[in-house]
Amino acid sequence: MKYVCRVSIRSCEDMKRTSSIYRYQTATNPYFGATIGRVCNRIANGHFMLNGQDIQVSRNFNNRHQLHGGFLGFDKMHWQVLEANGDGLTLQHCSPAGHEGYPGQVTATVKYTLTEDNCLHVRMQAKTTKTTIVNMTNHSYFNLAGHGAGREAMLEHSIMIKADQITETDSDSIPTGRLINVAGTLFDLNEPTQLGERLQQLLNGYDDNYCVKLNDNNMTTIARAYHQKSGRWLEIASNQPGVQFYTSNYMPDVNKGEIPLKGKEDAKYVKQGSFCLETQKYPDAVNHSNFPSIILNPNEQYNHDVIYKFGICRSGTSSCI
């Protein structure tokens, strides 16, 4: 059985999802709300060295690189229900050794918990039988005006991400290994920033890993989003050193005659009609020794926590971000 977790504010869904369970498993599904693994984001040339061994994983991105775990990543799997109750759900998936080219059998669990203070807590954990790499994420899409509100409403959002650097990438969005300071650039989101104004200048949108600074206890508020017309806001806290800010640039472009994706209640999902804030370690980290490590050994446990806190701004408040 496949479960979908939703969060509603004023009975309006803010998280995008498809109209059919089976559409989640198609190659064209843009990972709506998915748990991504074993490794989220990109691995250059689908290749890396691990303990002196040459590892080649599947290449499902431009026939050159791996993206989001390969052709049949965690997002395409039916997960086993370990526990389900009134406020939470725990799921498990066992990824066999060799799947998509990865060494070791990995057992991953994801626990979703809804709290009384309007939070969705997602805890991702994994163990392996052999040294491998793991870098999971949650790939939810948000539009605080409503899941089918479209591009115009998405551009009304203000965004803030607490990060002074991003990972530099090439034309295939593969990290070069360099970190770029964002101060004075269009990528500086340390202060509340109107998305509409930025995307007029950054026509291809955002698809960048922000290097966040974690507190000593690791769990850190890293990003906030606010939609003034509805009053809705979202705050994200995580224990991961990176967050991929993505403005749905690869969704159908109606200005080019492309057909929108069909969502729940016949909602139409289009280019730059939503945004993602995907907490993670840095992309292609296994190929860059200066990036936080994503190597997981048999005697270790992968731990990834992210909290999505939702709220509504009180009437008359000038800013909620």
Catalytic residues: 139, 278
Q: Which amino acid is at 94?
A: C
How many whole angstroms separate alpha carbon 114 and alpha carbon 44? Answer: 36
Residue pointed to by tokens 């290994």: 177
Identify whether the C-beta of residue 107 lies closer than 8 Å to the C-beta of residue 127: yes
How many whole angstroms separate alpha carbon 125 and alpha carbon 134? Answer: 10
**Any idea what the Cα angle at residue 255 is, between residues 253 and 260, rounded to 5°?**
40
User: Which residues fall in the annotated binding site for beta-D-galactose?
Assistant: 41-42, 139-141, 207
Q: Single out the residue of 4, 11, 7, 39 nearest to residue 236, CA to CA.
A: 7
